[in-house]
Amino acid sequence: METLMTILVGVLVTVAVYLLLSRSVIRIILGSAVLSHAVHLLLMVMGGLKKGGVPLLGEESESYTDALPQALILTAIVISFAVTAFLLVLAYRAYQETGSDDLQELRGFTDE
């Protein structure tokens, strides 16, 4: 199971890097969203996936899932949603002001 998830993380990172390297701002934002999901999955895998166990610290239970990565991911997801929302609004405002979402055109922009 861990191996499968690791491969999935790899695929997500590949997709995200491809998107991040493009010139359009919207694609970059999508790329960053995919990238953050990849790392959330990685956090989950790093805690170890145990089928059947619940994330509870029962005294007698034989196998349980580590609860900490889940708490971490919950926080990280909220943060990444907030940042993505902000980025989308920012990209929209920048597009309104400059009339372009092409990073090549926005490069070295100095005019007031």
Partner 1 sequence: MNNIVAMPMMIPLLTGIILVFLRPFVKVQRVVSFLALVATAIVSMILLNRIQTNGILRLDFGGWKPPYGILFVADSFSVLLVLTTAIVSAIVLLYAFSSIGARRENMFFYPFSLLLIAGVNGSFLTGDLFNLFVCFEVMLLASYVLITMGGKKIQLVESIKYVAINVLSSWFFLLGIAYLYGTVGTLNMAHLSARIAEVGQGPLLTIISMIFLIVFSLKSGLLLYFWLPGSYSAPPTAIAALFGALLTKVGIYAMFRTFTLIFYHEPSITHTMIGVMAAITLIGGSIGALAYQDIRQIVSYNVVITVGFILVGLAVSTEIAFQGAIFYLVHDMLIKALLFMLAGTMIYLTGKSRIEEMSGLIQNYPLLGWLFFLTTLSLAGIPPLSGFLGKLYVGQGAVEAGSYVLLGLAFLSGMFVLYSLLRIFMNTFWGETIISEDDEVPLQKRLLIPCVVLGIATIALGVGAESILVYVEDAAYTLMNPEVYVDAVLNKE
* Contacts with partner 1, residue ranges (CB under 8 A): 20, 25, 28, 32, 35-36, 39-40, 42-43, 45-47, 68-69, 72, 75-76, 79, 82-83, 86-87, 90-91, 93-94, 97-98, 103, 106, 109-112
Which distant-in-sequence residues (6+ apart) come within 8 Å of 47 by Cβ? 65, 66, 68, 69, 70
β partners of residue 24 = 102
Which of 61/92 has CB closer to partner 1? 92
The distance of closest approach from Cβ of residue 35 to partner 1 in the complex, given in angstroms and rounded to an integer, is: 5
In sequence order, what are the residues at sequence separation of 6 or more whose Cβ sits closer than 8 angstroms to the Cβ of residue 20?
Answer: 27, 28, 31, 32, 35
Least separation in angstroms between residue 3's CB and partner 1 is 14
The single-letter DSSP state of residue 24 is B
**Shorter beta-carbon distance to partner 1: residue 15 or 76:** 76
Question: In the complex, what is the shortest distance from the CB of residue 50 to partner 1, in angstroms, rounded to a whole number?
Answer: 14
Question: Which backbone phi and psi does 102 adopt, to 5 degrees?
Answer: -100, 120
| Shortest distance (Å) from residue 90 CB to partner 1 | 6
